[in-house]
Amino acid sequence: EPMTIIGQTPEPDSSGLVGTPRIATTMSELKAAQAGVAISEARLKLVSADIFPTLSAFGGYSYGKPNQDRFNNTWNDYWTIGASLGWSFNIGGRSSLRRKASRYELISAQSEYDRVTEQVKREARLAAEQVRLMYDKYQTAREEYDLASEQFRMARDRHANGDLSSNRLTDIETALTAAQSAKAASRADYWMARALWYYATGSTRLQEGF
């Protein structure tokens, strides 16, 4: 069936495929893992704070006529300063156990972050390799199309001179059509692979378009 190409995408290229792919820190997977580490760190600090005593201070100032003197007409003022010290006893080692559990949760969250980071990098490398593969495939299809075009041009000239039969010209034209279809398909495969690469690296190019 004939292929109808809507619009025109840029020519495939190998830009950005050299070296290690750059991973955007705004990827949802990385942000979720980072949030897990931050929550575990905050929980550990909160549990650790229960081990130490709590010291609070307060102060105040009062001014007025609580007891009016009808003759001297005096005013009274005074300062109030104090402190409060609280300390929860670690009965049965509950605070130590909670602190140890929170530390293990932090280690687990950090391990999960490292795992997610490595997985994202591995998927980005695989996506980049797929783009390289599709780029090479497109280059081969383009060369085959150029060769088929040249063969058809020469066959058409020979047919016009009576040196080539119509059936043979039709076969060469069919091969040219197949080469053209293969080139268009490989071009589409390349840009699909590139879109997956943008997604794997968290690139904003995926929203900007090609």
Give 55 or 43, the one with higher predicted confidence: 43
Q: What pLDDT does 11 receive?
A: 79
pLDDT digits (tens, 9 = 90+) for 12-47: 877 766 566 677 777 888 888 889 899 888 888 877
Residue 136 contacts residue 189 (beta carbons within 8 Å): no
Q: What pLDDT does 162 receive?
A: 84
pLDDT digits (tens, 9 = 90+) for 124-183: 889 888 999 999 999 999 999 999 999 999 998 888 888 888 888 899 999 999 999 999
Give 85 or 155, the one with higher predicted confidence: 155
- Amino acid letter, 156: R
Q: What pLDDT does 114 receive?
A: 92
pTM above 0.85, yes or no: no
The Cα-based distances of 30 to 23, 115, 116, 128, 164 in angstroms read 10, 10, 7, 19, 64
Phi–psi pair at 78, nearest 5 degrees: -160, 155
Enter the tokens of residue 50: 């229960």
Strands 76-86 and 54-64: antiparallel
CA–CA separation, 22 and 201 (whole Å): 7
Out of 75-79, 199-203, 205-209, give the one with best mean pLDDT.
199-203
Show the CA angle centred on residue 72, arms to residues 68 and 76, nearest 5°: 50
